[in-house]
Chains A and B, each alone.
Chain A
Amino acid sequence: MAIEIKMPALSPTMEEGTLAKWLVKEGDVVKSGDILAEIETDKATMEFEAVDEGTVGKLLVAEGTENVKVGTVIATIGGEGEEASAPPPAAKAAEPVAAAAPAVAKPAPAKAAVSAADPEIPAGTPMVSTTVREALRDAMAEEMRKDDRVFVMGEEVAEYQGAYKVTQGLLDEFGGRRVIDTPITEYGFAGIGSGAAMGGLKPIIEFMTFNFAMQAIDHIINSAAKTNYMSGGQMRCPIVFRGPNGAASRVGAQHSQNYAPWYASVPGLVVIAPYDAADAKGLLKAAIRSEDPVVFLENELVYGKSFDVPAMDDFVLPIGKARTVRPGKDVTIVTYSIGVQYSLEAARVLAEEGIDAEVIDLRTLRPLDKAAVLESLSRTNRMVVAEEGWPTCSIASEIIAICMTEGFDDLDAPVLRVCDEDVPLPYAANLEKLALIDASRIVEAVRKVCYR
């Protein structure tokens, strides 16, 4: 059976080219690797080589022919010991596949599995006052005890006990095999972590702060986030990238940034940004168990704050679920991370003015709990989004888009956002204060949407 040799596409955009020169003639015996022809594209002249063995049958397109469409049969090669057969009559340019494909309806995305609600905390469970820092450490330690594949890697995580002391005690308990100090090479160890995850381990990669993850963002996005999809579900990258995110205190522009909107824009990532200690613990445990790459955004300013954490053997929270931290009926404040603190302060002030604000902590930013946002909006009909981060292309922007497209009929006022000022964070104390969100700005925005 003769093999048809077709005009090849030599670049992703090539549609046609010039058959500059034949380097074989009819009757020649060719083997794999022999050069058949030179083909000119608009960018370069390329050699075109045989992959099959056989005898050249007909050369169907003459040397020097221009505008030969990709896919046109240009020659035939007969199989071994076989006479090259006559060409099929009237070889014509193959139809571009895309044009021939029938229009298909856009498929609905696969239904997400219904995610569980927060676990019931059995009556009588003691609550233990725990700092966010300790809660994070406890989450890692519990998962490491259970699963030998889990390890922690990052700068100063072992001997120094963590630059912010989040990994305190882990080296003592788990040893140097599983608690690993790295050099200052974020791109390298994010890649090593991602590779280890692909190979079957469950790394927790600590960035000293997420500002330094910028060195490594290629691996987070191009390596970790896209692998499962690109491999058709074959290859996973179950990794947690964690560390403090957002403004700390007077550390200047290069060390003060909220990356939540950056990561939350990437399909293939899970993005979590807890506020209190119980959420930090329950969600970090869930993140470590997840088969997906998780970006886990902490906040240095709340590391030292104490909150109640239920003393349960295995306190795990569902990813993708917002939490109502304060129920209310007049207005909804949607927020996350340290924004929760300011929003609760604002709600207290508003209560004195007779405005009953509901505060929703998103907790997970991707996938975002739209249902919780829209449900609250359907009751309060007014919304403010509070976010410690820049306003443009923010999580707040996303919430507003959701309300516009899916909650329009429930809105009694435009949704307002309270974000940081749209500037790099300054060092000077007075300017820094001016640049960051606070409770009073949230109060003001709430008054506006309530027309007070």
Chain B
Amino acid sequence: MDKISYIILVPMVYAAFAVLVLGVSARLVAILRTPRELQTPIYPASGAPYLRALYDSFLMPQVRRHAPVLWVFLMAFHACLLLLLIGHLELVAQMPWEKAFPHQIFLGKGFVGLILAVSLLFFLFRRFSSPVRDLSVPEDYYLLILLFLTVIFGAEMDWARNWYGYGEMGVDQYRQYLTSLVTFHPALPYEVTSAGHRFMLVLHVFFANLFLMVLPFSKIMHAFLALPVNKLRRG
């Protein structure tokens, strides 16, 4: 078990990030190096296509107009994702903004994870009903399930600290572990390997690794492509 934990927590994390970075770069280069074709925008064309594309990508006005309920969940989901990204960054090292705005690491007191989990369930159930079901392919379900598993184990660690006063494994230990990874001196603190909650961490990291490795080859590439593709519509 310890050996498996180690593999998941150390070499697999490196592998996942390598696949992520190389994969995403290769895909982006391949697409952006392809010659352009003639493409007609949707009129009235915008005077500031990049700004409009930014607006389209981040606020999704089309979804707000045509599928308002989905929009609420999509916005909640993506906003929480951003908060989580910040949370994880803060685990890696002390961020400059931490001093300016003193706050507890992982904003949202556990609710961010909850909102993510609920949104993911909403997306999943939505996929099981027509007409979205008719459009869906297996990849769509697998990705949602994988994300849900990642989120649920990650959030569980947050909930334990926030809601049940669990104190054995906390920010300091995570920070120690992640700092060791980014400085390429991997070391697992005692708590990470032996606390009662360690399997949560191991599972969280395992699913997260898988997710990062499939990302470059999945439709999650929309995270990078939303902007250039939206720009095409705006002229």
A binds B: no
- Chain B interface (Cβ < 8 Å from any Cβ of A): none
- Chain A interface (Cβ < 8 Å from any Cβ of B): none
